[in-house]
């Protein structure tokens, strides 16, 4: 009886092990990262306090649901100038081919009083310029 218990228990443990190592995961692999133009920018307050926090929303159009927002390249060009480029991911999985627009955001928290100029990449050599005055 004891021998049957050990065999049954071993079979159960092996069955759980092989089940947990199943490679049939429900996600898609990112195949590529590429720039995506920022179509519009929404800044709620063009004036804010130093050390305050404000969300800056950007909107981009994606050609299919195989693509989505990946991240920003946020560069401090000097104390008061910023350039922002958005990046998208491209997956290899099955997806709907319908175009959609998605919003992403940057949280801006200025450390100095002054006028900050943001330039958001809009494709080619085109930029959307926005200004925030920090008091």
Q: Which CATH architecture has domain 25-134?
A: Sandwich (2.60)
pLDDT greater than 70 at residue 121:
yes
Question: Where on the phi/psi map is residue 124: left (φ > 0), alpha (ψ -120 to 50), or beta?
Answer: left
Cα distances (angstroms) measured from residue 65 to each of 30, 42, 46, 86, 115: 13, 23, 33, 17, 38
Ranges of each domain in the chain: 25-134
pLDDT tens for residues 87-108? 999 998 788 789 999 999 999 9
pLDDT tens for residues 56-80? 999 999 999 999 999 999 999 999 9
Q: What is the pTM of this model?
A: 0.78
User: Where in the chain does DSSP place strands (E)?
Assistant: 30-36, 40-43, 47-48, 54-62, 67-76, 81-91, 100-108, 114-121, 127-134
Tell the residue number behind the tokens 């081919």, with chain if given.
97
């Amino acid at each position: 009886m004891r021998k049957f218990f050990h065999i049954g228990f071993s079979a159960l443990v092996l069955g759980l092990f092989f089940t947990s190592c199943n490679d049939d995961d429900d996600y898609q692999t990112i195949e590529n990262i590429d720039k995506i133009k920022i179509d519009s920018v929404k800044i709620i307050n063009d004036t804010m306090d130093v050390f305050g926090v404000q969300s800056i929303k950007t909107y981009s159009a994606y050609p299919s649901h195989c693509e989505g927002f990946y991240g920003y390249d946020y560069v401090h060009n000097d104390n008061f100038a910023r350039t922002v480029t958005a990046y998208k991911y491209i997956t290899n999985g099955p997806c709907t081919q319908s175009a959609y627009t998605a919003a992403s955001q940057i949280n801006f928290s200025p450390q100095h009083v002054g006028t900050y100029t943001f330039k958001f990449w809009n494709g080619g050599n085109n930029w959307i310029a926005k200004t925030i005055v920090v008091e």
